[in-house]
Each structure stands twice: as C-alpha cells, then as structure tokens.
Amino acid sequence: MVYNSPLLIAQVTDIHLFAETDRTLLGLPTTESFEFLIEQLYRLNPRPDLLLLTGDLSQDGTSDSYDRLQALLSPLGIPVYWLPGNHDLPDVMARSLSHPLFLPDKSFQAGDWQFVLLDSSVPGCVHGHLSNDELQWLDQELQQNPERPAIVALHHPPFLTQSDWLDTSILQNPDDLLAVIDRHPQVEIVLFGHIHQEFQYERKHVTYLGTPSTCIQFEPKSSNFALDHQKPGFRLLTLQSNGRWHTQVKRIAYAHQLDRMAVGY
C-alpha cells in the first residue's frame, strides 16, 4: 500500500449506531451526526491514509448497526481498522465487519509506524480490563519492532479523568498496561475513546490521547453525569517517519437539541 508522507490518520470513536437509523442517544440521532462527520472526512485534503475506530461503534451490538457503519464509511475508499468498546459485541462485530476496506488486523505497519489495537472490553460490563493474553501479545508485538515508532490503541482510558461517574468505568488494570509500555521506548502515543471528550496526558515521554465522540459529548471534570455543549468531533494525527508527530481535534458543524435531563448513559 502507498501511504502519504507524513502519514495522516483519523481516529473516529464512540459512534453509537443503532439497528434503526432514526434512534437517538440522549436525544441525538447518532446516524445523522455521524453522516455530518463523514462529510467532513470527504473534504479533508490530503485524505487520511487510514481510519482508526476505537470502539462503541454500535450502541446495541446488532449486525444491522455494523452493516450501516460499513455502508456509510466504505464510499470514502479509505482502509478502516477497528477495535471494540463496552457497547460492542466483539463476535458480532468481527462477523459483520467483512467489507474489504474493513481490515481485521490488530497489529500492522503503515509508513514507518507500528499500530497495536487492544480489546479492553469485558462482556456485560461498562469498565475495561486487559487480559494477560492481550498484554503478553502487546509485549511481543512491540518487542519484534523496536525501531518503529508505535501507537497503541484501546477503548478505555488508563487514567482517571476527574469525572467521578466516568472514572468508575476506566481501564481497571492500568498498571499492567503501563508496565508493558514502559518496556518499549518506541511507543509514542496511546489512543482511546470512551470518555466522549478531548483529553491529553503525558507520562514518561508517552502521550495519552482521548478523543471526542461522533455524537454526544460528556462534560469534563463533572462529578455526576452531564452532557457538554461541545460539538461532535474526531482526531487527526500527522505522523512523520522519524517518530515526530502532531495531532489536532476537529469538531463538526452539527447541532441538535439534546435531552439534557437524561441520566443513566
């Protein structure tokens, strides 16, 4: 595959599609806001080399919702890599996402960079956890490519976000992940979703980045569940072959009357 240099990646996360096109999440029709976001992806110049979808792609885990995801994204003609979040059903997802542009690989190279995508979902739970198998596999993949700058992606954040209600559902074994990351200095970035807001944290020369959802936004640093007025968004990452990079969150021009009184996301 021929890639741009520098490599341009779009992280798109927490799309929360339903089987029905017109269903809403706390008042927001998730298919519609996602369609606005896709319009913005179409207009990007240069085009992203690949899309990275970091979980909660479906709200109801139905094959219909994954079929719509493929139908909406495939006309862009950009390869799509993906991982599951707490709302996804990994088995249904793996079976449904069979379009040739949706690639099943969880460790791959693009340009000079290596990507490792982790499954932190736990059946029936909102919080995340990484199994020993998953952690060992990450260690091994990073060990095999010590010269390549690396991006690790998962759905759940490995840090507290200062939102009490949200902090109960972060990755439950962050120290296990950080111990692996610490062994591999080529890791530059850890990417995640789940928190529906922009987040950035530096630890030992690694940058941890959280990205807005394509639908509802959560209010940062809120003790209780609260929606934010920020627009839906996604993240662009520009990756140089020497390991240098920069990133930017893009918001989309989409407004909808939200059900601000709703609780129990």
Can you give the binding site for Fe ion, defined by CB under 5 A? 56, 85-86, 194
Q: Which residue number, 179 or 263, has a Cβ lying nearer to Fe ion?
A: 263
Q: Which residue number, 6 or 55, has a Cβ lying nearer to Fe ion?
A: 55
Residue 29 C-beta: closest distance to Fe ion, Å: 19
Residue 43 in 3-state DSSP?
A: helix
Task: Say how far apart CA 159 and CA 141 lie, in whole Å.
Answer: 23
Task: Say how far apart CA 184 and CA 155 lie, in whole Å.
Answer: 21
Task: Please state, in angstroms and as integers, the Cα–Cα distance from residue 211 to each residue in 24, 37, 77, 149, following that order.
Answer: 21, 14, 23, 21
Residue 88 C-beta: closest distance to Fe ion, Å: 9
Contact present, 81 and 108 (Cβ < 8 Å): yes
Separation of CA 69 from chain center = 14
Q: Which residue number, 102 or 192, has a Cβ lying nearer to Fe ion?
A: 192
Q: Which residue number, 96 or 121, has a Cβ lying nearer to Fe ion?
A: 121
Residue 142 C-beta: closest distance to Fe ion, Å: 25
Residue with nearest beta carbon to Fe ion: 194
Residue 76 C-beta: closest distance to Fe ion, Å: 24
Residue 126 C-beta: closest distance to Fe ion, Å: 7
Structure tokens at 111: 């340009």
Query: What residue type is assigned to position 47 of the chain?
Result: R
What is the residue-wise DSSP string for 132-182?
HHHHHHHHHHHHH-TTS-EEEE-SS-SS--S-HHHHTTSBS-HHHHHHHHH
Residue 56 C-beta: closest distance to Fe ion, Å: 4
Q: Which residue number, 114 or 230, has a Cβ lying nearer to Fe ion?
A: 230
Q: Which residue number, 184 or 194, has a Cβ lying nearer to Fe ion?
A: 194
Q: Please list, in sequence order, all residues whose beta carbon lies within 8 angstroms of the beta carbon of residue 238, skipping any fewer than 6 positions away.
A: 6, 7, 8, 245, 246, 247
Q: Exposed (0-12), middle (13-18) or buried (19+): which is 23, by Cβ within 10 Å?
A: middle
